[in-house]
Amino acid sequence: MRRLFFALPLALAACEAPPQPLTPEQSAALKPADARLAALYESSCKACHAVADSGAPLTGDRTQWDARWAKGETVLLQHTQVGFAAMPAGGQCFTCTPADHAALIRFMAGRAQ
Amino acid sequence: MTTRRKVLLGGAGVLALGAGGLVGRRVWLDREPAALPATDAQGRVVWQNWSGLEHSYPAQRAAPASDAELAELMRRAPVPIRPVGAGHSFTALVPTDGTLLSMDRMTGLVSHDATAMTATVRAGTRLSALGPALAAIGQEMPNLPDINKQTLAGAMATATHGTGKGLTALHGEVTALKLVTPAGEIVQCSRDTKPELFHSARVGLGAFGVLSEVTLANKPLTRVRKEVRLVDTDALLKDWPALAARRNRRTGPPARAGSGCRYADEPQDAA
ipTM above 0.85? Answer: no
Dist CA B200 CA B104 (whole Å): 24
Q: Which of A37, A40, A43 to mutate to test the interface with B (most CBs of B within 10 A)?
A: A43
Dist CA B176 CA B70 (whole Å): 19
Taking only the tens place, the pLDDT of each residue in A42-91 is 888 998 899 888 889 999 999 999 999 999 999 999 999 999 888 889 99
Is the pLDDT score of A5 beyond 60?
no
Distance from CA of B252 to the nearest CA of A (A): 18
Domains with residue ranges and CATH for chain A? 20-108 (1.10.760.10)
Flag whether residue A52 sits within 8 Å of chain B, measured between CB atoms: no
B107/A95 Cβ within 8 A: no
Find the closest chain B residue to A86 by CA distance: B50
Asked if A108 and A32 touch (Cβ cutoff 8 Å), the reply is no
Q: Which of B47, B100, B128 sits opposite A89 (nearest CB)?
A: B47
Is the pLDDT score of B166 beyond 80?
no
Q: Band the pLDDT of B271: cuts 50, 70, 90.
A: very low
CA distances from A61 to A20, A45, A91, B104, B245 (A): 7, 14, 18, 26, 46
- pLDDT for residue B2: 62
- pLDDT for residue B250: 59
Q: What letters, b where the CB count within 10 A reaches 16 and e where it falls short, cover B55-84? A: bbbbeebbbbeebeebbebbeebeeebbbb
Under DSSP, is residue A39 helix (H, G, I), strand (E, B) or coil?
Answer: helix
Q: Which of A47, A83, A95 sits opposite B102 (nearest CB)?
A: A95
Find the closest chain B residue to A92 by CA distance: B86
- Give the DSSP H/E element, type plus range, for residue B188: strand B186-190
Residues from chain B contacting residue A98 (CB–CB below 8 Å): 45
B100/A82 Cβ within 8 A: no
Flag whether residue A94 sits within 8 Å of chain B, measured between CB atoms: yes
Taking only the tens place, the pLDDT of each residue in B179-209 is 999 999 999 999 999 999 999 999 999 899 9
Residues from chain B contacting residue A43 (CB–CB below 8 Å): 104, 107, 126
Between chain A and chain B, how many beta carbons pairs sit less than 8 Å apart?
59
Dist CA B112 CA B166 (whole Å): 25
Q: Which of A82, A84, A100, A105 to mutate to test the interface with B (most CBs of B within 10 A)?
A: A82
Alpha helices in chain B (DSSP H): 2-29, 67-76, 127-135, 152-157, 195-201, 233-238, 240-245
Find the closest chain B residue to A36 by CA distance: B105
CA distances from B65 to A70, B140, B163 (A): 37, 26, 33
Taking only the tens place, the pLDDT of each residue in B18-65 is 888 888 877 777 766 677 899 999 999 999 998 889 999 999 999 999
- Mean pLDDT lowest among A25-39, A45-59, A82-96, B252-266: B252-266
B104/A44 Cβ within 8 A: yes
- Counting Cβ atoms within 10 Å, is residue B42 exposed (0-12), middle (13-18) or buried (19+)? exposed
Q: Which of B100, B107, B149 sits opposite A94 (nearest CB)?
A: B100
Dist CA A65 CA A45 (whole Å): 15
Distance from CA of A96 to the nearest CA of B (A): 9
Distance from CA of B259 to the nearest CA of A (A): 23
Handedness of CA B119, B123, B125, B128 (dihedral sign): positive
Q: Which of A74, A94, A96 to mutate to test the interface with B (most CBs of B within 10 A)?
A: A94
B47/A90 Cβ within 8 A: yes
